[in-house]
């Protein structure tokens, strides 16, 4: 089962500038991929894999597209296709839905990575209140450790987001084992009560 931990992030000025710059380029890549998808023949529209492969040609034409992490650009494109699937499901359920919309400056506010080699975690900051996190092509910044911060290899995905308030947050997605729910009292049979009583007696 996936579990998401959200932490307040504190980015130095230069790292914040770089992160926001990359996020805005990812917005442009996202918009271009949406346009590419809808401009394609209805019966031959590109998959996310097809559009991942187009990134090199797009970056050759628009060099700015090569500035963010290529992996982050692929993630932005993958999100488009996830959103398209959601729209299709809603359409099949009778909802009147349109197309994916163009996103203006400031409307696209996050960057995500789902490969551990794209980030690093440093717990040895000398201050128990903070842990340092590094994201590929963005840099190092602090997150407030108001709960346990997983190690690098325990993290499945990292999402850095700037809220409309200007605050930055990091979401760390991990995998946790499913734990069986405790049965309600009405589901416990009389023999279960007896067994529990014996167990209690033997422990005592």
Q: Where exactly are the structural domains of the chain? A: 25-92
Sign of the torsion formed by the C-alpha atoms of 94, 100, 104 and 110? positive
Average pLDDT rounded to a whole number, residues 155-177: 96
**For residue 2, pLDDT beyond 90:** yes
pLDDT of residue 203: 41
Among 18-32, 121-135, 161-175, 183-197, where is mean pLDDT lowest? 183-197
| C-alpha dihedral (7, 30, 56, 63), degrees to nearest 10 | -90
pLDDT of residue 177: 81
Q: Residue 9 pairs with which residues in a beta bridge? A: 143, 168
Percent of the chain with pLDDT over 90: 85
Confidence bin at 186 (pLDDT 50/70/90) = low
**For residue 176, pLDDT beyond 60:** yes
26-78 pLDDT, tens digit per residue, is 999 999 999 999 999 999 999 999 999 999 999 999 999 999 999 999 999 99
Q: Residue 141 pairs with which residues in a beta bridge? A: 133
pLDDT greater at residue 194 or residue 38? 38
Asked if 20 contacts 179 with a C-beta cutoff of 8 angstroms, the reply is no
pLDDT greater at residue 193 or residue 105? 105
Q: Which residues, in sequence order, are CB contacts of 9 under 8 Å at separation 6+? A: 133, 141, 142, 143, 144, 160, 168, 169, 170
pLDDT greater at residue 174 or residue 197? 174
Residue 201: C-alpha distances to residues 159, 188, 192, 195, 204 (Å): 51, 19, 14, 10, 5
pLDDT greater at residue 202 or residue 116? 116
């Amino acid at each position: 089962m996936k579990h998401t931990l959200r932490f307040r992030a504190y980015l130095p000025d230069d790292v914040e500038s770089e992160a926001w710059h990359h996020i805005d380029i990812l917005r442009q890549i996202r918009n271009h991929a949406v346009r590419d998808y809808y401009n394609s023949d209805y019966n031959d529209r590109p998959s996310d894999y097809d559009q991942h492969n187009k990134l090199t040609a797009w970056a050759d034409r628009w060099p700015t597209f090569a500035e963010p992490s290529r992996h982050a650009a692929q993630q932005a494109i993958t999100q488009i296709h996830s959103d398209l699937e959601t729209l299709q499901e809603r359409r099949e359920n009778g909802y009147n839905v349109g197309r994916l919309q163009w996103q203006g400056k400031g409307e696209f506010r996050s960057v995500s990575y789902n490969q551990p080699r794209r980030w690093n975690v440093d717990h040895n900051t000398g201050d128990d209140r903070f842990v340092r996190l590094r994201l590929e092509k963005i840099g190092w910044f602090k997150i407030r450790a108001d709960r346990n911060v997983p190690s690098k290899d325990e993290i499945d995905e990292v999402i850095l987001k700037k809220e409309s308030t200007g605050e930055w947050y990091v979401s760390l997605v991990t995998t946790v084992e499913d734990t069986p729910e405790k049965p309600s009292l009405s589901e416990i049979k009389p023999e279960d009560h007896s067994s529990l009583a014996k167990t209690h007696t033997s422990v005592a």
